Amino acid sequence: MNTFIRSFVLSIVMLTASFSALAHKPASSEYYLFINEQGVMMDAYFPLDRIDYALGVRIAHEEDFRGADLRSQLQQRLDQHLWLADDQGNRIRAQIRQTWNTWKDQNGTNTPMLKAELWFPLADTDGRITLHSDVITAAVSNHDLYVSVQSDFRQGVLGEPALLGVITKPSPQLYIERDGASLWQGVSSMFVHGMDHIRHGTDHLLFLFCLLLTAPLMLVNGRWQGRLTNRQSVIQIVKLISAFTLGHTLTLVMATLGWIPAGGQAIEVVIALTIMATAGFALRPLPFGHGGQLSIAAGFGLIHGAAFAENLAQLGLSGVDLASALLAFTSGIELQQLLLVAVVMPFLLVISRQLQVYFWLRAGAAAFALVASAGWLAERIQQIPNPLTLWLEQLIDIAPYLYALLIVAAVTCWLVQRSRVINAQVPPLAD
């Protein structure tokens, strides 16, 4: 009986330990690949408690990971345990560009990591690429390495990582098939990416809407009190969109070519300010009127273009691929902007015939844009999301309902206007 009890207790203890081990799954390594025609860039994340064991050193998270000693030790380890091979079997070793310490969320915990930016100059990235890695598994058997492709222009992978597979100690190699890669696939994907960038960019959509709000209006005594004709409104819309397009296309090209910085926190902060300024302009015009508005649209376009370029800069393209991606991305942006103008502006023109109704639409939209831009400004300065910006991220989901309200308002205004015209044409009854 005692033997049975002891066996039972031991079984419970072992089961408890097993569940505990499952609950505390060890941190894994992660590779993110950026593939282009010149080679492969890799962002490698190694858990500190595993890489220090593999290197035979003790690494504290507070250490400066850019030090020459650590980089030298890491380079030696990578030379022995990490390589890529092209379709012909030519092996290319990793070149460390930089290393630093970071944190990464894994298994519900914030795990200290050694991050290394690696470069593999493959002469031929077409066809199959073989990845071999046992950097940690050569020393630690219980370890997983998750490999994802972050960008591959000719495969149509742009920005969102796609898991390729998992490397373990029994299976230290992973095959990356690129037989279907083509320039056309990259161009078509980048075109769609440009459209999506506008369609899902709440801040850009709000900026563009505020820019369009004043297009049908006339300046009277320094205020928006009159209405332009439909022809004049269309001309003003064309001028505004052209000025904005010219501005952002210029900086998009310059930033993509590396002539000016692409994106960054400062640019995002300034974009929030441009939305705030444009919303303010929709409420109260600047002294120089529509002419000044065109200059503002072009100037603000320069800022937005630098933000757009961040999507291209991270791909690491050059030559034909870069030119094709730039043209496709820009075309996607412009087409989506034109579609937005085409579906929104006719209804704004109809509503603007009722200046009192249009005033409340303009004031409400501008006030909302001011509040939203303040939220984005706070988030981008502090680099911490706030409840307002988290809600704004979901705003795109209710956009169809907002558009439906715009249509209802336009139809109502048209019916009222139509009723007034009919009543004016009906002669009074004779006594």
- What's residue 118's pLDDT? 96
List Cα–Cα distances, 94 to 148, 166, 171, 343, in angstroms. 17, 19, 20, 51
If asked whether residues 100 and 113 sit together in one domain, one would say yes
Would you state the pLDDT for residue 23?
46
Domain boundary among 181, 198, 226: 181
User: What are the average pLDDT values for consecutive 10-residue runs of the chain, which has 431 residues?
Assistant: 51 45 68 90 93 83 66 91 90 92 83 92 84 93 92 84 92 87 87 89 90 85 81 89 91 85 85 91 75 82 87 80 90 92 92 89 93 93 88 84 90 86 64 48
Tell whether 266 and 285 lie within a shared domain.
Answer: yes
**What pLDDT score does 423 carry?**
73
| Alpha carbon distances (Å) from 196 to 24, 29, 167, 182, 337 | 39, 31, 33, 21, 11
Say if 137 falls within a structural domain. Answer: yes
Q: Is residue 13 part of a domain?
A: no
Pair (228, 329) in one structural domain: yes
Asked if 239 and 311 sit in the same domain, the reply is yes
* 244 shares a domain with 158: no
Per the domain annotation, does 157 fall within a domain?
yes
Least Cα distance to 402 among 373, 336, 410 occurs for: 410
Question: How many domains does the structure of the chain reveal?
Answer: 2
Tell me whether residue 14 is in a domain: no
Q: At what angle do helices 319-351 and 183-199 cross, to 10 degrees?
A: 30
Q: Is residue 6 part of a domain?
A: no
What is the domain range of residue 271? 185-424
Residue 289 has what pLDDT? 60
302 shares its domain with 174: no
168 in the same domain as 30? yes
What's residue 20's pLDDT? Answer: 41
Same domain assignment for residues 142 and 154: yes
Pair (95, 198) in one structural domain? no
Q: Among 154, 181, 208, where does a domain finish?
A: 181
pLDDT at 163: 92
In a domain, 354, yes or no: yes
Per-residue pLDDT at 127: 79
User: What pLDDT is recorded for position 2?
Assistant: 55
> Which residues, listed in sequence order, are joined to residue 166 by a DSSP beta bridge?
146
Residue 325 and residue 401 share a domain: yes
pTM for the structure as a whole: 0.77
- Do 299 and 255 lie in one domain? The reply is yes
- Domain stop point among 181, 198, 213: 181
Residues 70 and 99 placed together within one structural domain of the fold: yes
